[in-house]
């Protein structure tokens, strides 16, 4: 049920402490995260309303659009509210047809970071995530990429280094070389493949930021929002299936930071209301059984 008070609380993200429910900008551009938004005015209104409601962690990327998400953030919020943590990611780019291509050599990573700074009109970011594009384990390329990220941090372009699409082995290897501010991996009630990474992050005090928290936006079927346990819990508690799925992630570990994205004002307010959603023992038990089937 929805209860008074902020049950989500806050958690450390690099050098800052942020609300555990932030905002992801991926859904602001057009279909397929490509091109202009369907409704530019509403996209800007969503960002401004998020800031009004206390969102202090916005996740974006230069290749969302490309450029579109960053430009909307700048148009809506610049000059930025004090304490706002802007986090981006590098390692990919879009071609003219919208295909996602690798852009992850050390020089390309540096260029990606400076492109983000330019389009967001800032001189540094709270964190930048290195997005891995294949399943190869830690090797020379990963070491070279880490070197580029560390240099960018040392040069003051970012306060922290994040990692995305990684294994526990990547994380442990990276930690032998540098501090890690956050990890972004897929995680939801139907996909718990990153649980070893989440648990390692929790043990080490590293923020874990699940992407696709409500299931992939690119799948026609949705095993999260259509899950019978999620639907039954939503009906019983008088909330939406999306709110149930997000609340379940929040209670999974204290280091989980949510960045649900939307281009709708109504969905934005629904997402942020999860800070006041309490899953009772019956809900936790039912959803726990459902999630166990995904392990």
Question: Residues 153-165: pLDDT tens digits?
Answer: 999 999 999 999 9
Position 218 scores a pLDDT of 61
Position 137 scores a pLDDT of 87
Site of tokens 């799948």: 219
Can you spell out the DSSP letters for the chain? -B-SS-SS-EEEETTEEEESB-EE-TTSSSGGGBSS-S-HHHHHHHHHHHHHTT--EEE--TTTBTTHHHHHHHHHHPSPPTT-EEEEEESEEE-TT--EEE--SHHHHHHHHHHHHHHHT-S-BSEEEEE--S---S-HHHHHHHHHHHHHHHTTSBS-EEEES--HHHHHHHHTTS---EEEEE-BTTB-TTHHHHHHHHHHT-EEEEESTTS-TT-SS-TTTT-HHHHHHHHHHTS-HHHHHHHHHHTT-TTB-B--B-S-HHHHHHHHGGGGB---HHHHHHHHHHHHTT-
**Chain-wide mean pLDDT for the chain?**
95
Position 222 scores a pLDDT of 87
Position 174 scores a pLDDT of 98
Q: How confident is the model at residue 112 (pLDDT cuts 50, 70, 90)?
A: very high
Q: Does domain 18-292 have CATH number 3.20.20.100?
A: yes
Position 7 scores a pLDDT of 52
Q: Record the pTM.
A: 0.95
Position 19 scores a pLDDT of 97
Smallest Cα–Cα separation from 84: which of 56, 60, 124?
Answer: 56
Q: What percent of the chain has pLDDT over 70?
A: 96
Position 6 scores a pLDDT of 46
Whole-number Å distance between alpha carbons of 244 and 238: 10
Residue 86 has phi, psi (to 5 degrees) of: -95, 125
Q: How confident is the model at residue 294 (pLDDT cuts 50, 70, 90)?
A: confident
Beta bridge mates, 34: 65
Q: Please give the structure tokens belonging to residue 7.
A: 């049950």
User: By the 8 A CB rule, do 157 and 118 touch?
Assistant: no
Question: Residues 206-256: pLDDT tens digits?
Answer: 999 999 999 876 666 789 999 999 999 999 999 999 999 999 999 999 999
Mean pLDDT value of segment 193-210: 98
Burial grade of 135 (CB within 10 A; 0-12, 13-18, 19 or more): exposed
Smallest Cα–Cα separation from 125: which of 148, 155, 104, 147?
Answer: 155
Position 2 scores a pLDDT of 47
Handedness of CA 238, 242, 243, 249 (dihedral sign): positive
Query: Which residues carry out catalysis?
Result: 64
Position 163 scores a pLDDT of 98
Position 117 scores a pLDDT of 98
Whole-number Å distance between alpha carbons of 257 and 11: 8
pLDDT at 118 over 80: yes
Q: What percent of the chain has pLDDT over 90?
A: 92
Q: Is the bond preceding residue 167 a cis peptide, omega within 30 degrees?
A: no
**Segments making up each domain of the chain, as ranges:** 18-292
pLDDT at 271 over 90: yes
User: By the 8 A CB rule, do 37 and 81 touch?
Assistant: no
Mean pLDDT value of segment 102-117: 98
pLDDT at 54 over 80: yes
pLDDT at 295 over 80: no
């Amino acid at each position: 049920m929805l209860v008074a008070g902020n049950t989500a609380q806050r958690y450390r993200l690099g050098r800052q402490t942020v609300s555990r429910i932030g905002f992801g900008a991926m859904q602001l551009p057009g279909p397929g995260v490509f091109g202009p938004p369907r409704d530019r005015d509403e996209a800007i209104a969503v960002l401004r309303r998020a800031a009004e409601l206390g969102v202090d962690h916005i996740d974006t990327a230069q290749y969302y659009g490309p450029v579109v998400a960053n430009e909307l953030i700048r148009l809506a919020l610049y000059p930025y509210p004090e304490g706002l943590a802007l986090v981006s990611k590098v390692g990919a780019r879009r071609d003219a047809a919208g295909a996602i291509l690798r852009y992850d050599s050390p020089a390309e990573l540096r260029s990606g970071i400076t492109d983000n700074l330019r389009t967001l009109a800032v001189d540094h970011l709270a964190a930048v995530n290195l997005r891995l594009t294949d399943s190869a384990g830690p090797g020379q390329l990963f070491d070279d990429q880490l070197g580029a990220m560390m240099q960018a941090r040392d040069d003051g372009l970012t306060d922290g280094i994040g990692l995305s699409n990684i294994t526990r082995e990547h994380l442990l290897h990276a930690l032998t070389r540098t501090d890690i501010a956050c990890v972004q991996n897929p995680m939801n009630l139907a996909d718990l493949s990153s649980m070893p990474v989440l648990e390692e992050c929790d043990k080490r005090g590293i923020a874990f930021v699940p992407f696709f928290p409500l299931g992939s936006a690119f799948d026609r079927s949705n095993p999260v929002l259509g899950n019978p346990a999620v639907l039954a819990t939503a009906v019983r508690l008088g909330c939406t299936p999306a709110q149930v799925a997000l609340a379940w992630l929040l209670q999974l570990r204290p280091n989980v930071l949510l960045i649900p994205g939307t281009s709708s004002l109504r969905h934005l307010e629904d997402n942020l209301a999860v800070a006041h959603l309490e899953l009772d023992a019956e809900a936790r038990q039912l959803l726990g059984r459902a999630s166990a089937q995904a392990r």
